[in-house]
Amino acid sequence: MAKISEYLKIGEAAAYLGMHTDTLRRWDRAGKLEARRYPANRFRLYLRSDLDGFLRQLGAGDTASPTPPSVRSTHTRRIDRQIEATKGRHADPVGARCGRR
């Protein structure tokens, strides 16, 4: 039986994996990553060893790539695209408000 200190709440587990809490909830519903439930309030709890195993599984899943895929790579690419899309829209919003052009 695992000690309570070996469990992470969903927010802590999401930070540990570099994911959003909604992603962990979807994975739990899909059966990709099992969450335990705290009996008193039904909160999701994740064993740190389960999360480590899940990360190893993600890294070993892509054998064609010489380096393991980053857990955050999709999220990072999306943010990069959003930054690129907004460049030039607001070249100097602070300067425009202050009368500097």
How does pLDDT run across 12-69, given as a tens digit for each residue? 999 988 889 999 999 999 988 889 888 888 889 999 999 998 888 877 654 443 344 4
* Pairwise CA distance, residues 101 & 93, whole Å: 10
* Pairwise CA distance, residues 42 & 40, whole Å: 6
Average pLDDT over residues 74-93: 63
CATH second-level architecture of 4-87? Orthogonal Bundle (1.10)
What residues form DSSP beta bridges with 8? 46
* pTM beyond 0.75: no
User: Domain coordinates of the chain in residue numbers?
Assistant: 4-87
In this structure, are residues 25 and 9 in contact, taking their beta carbons and an 8 Å threshold?
no
Cα 41 to chain centroid, rounded: 24
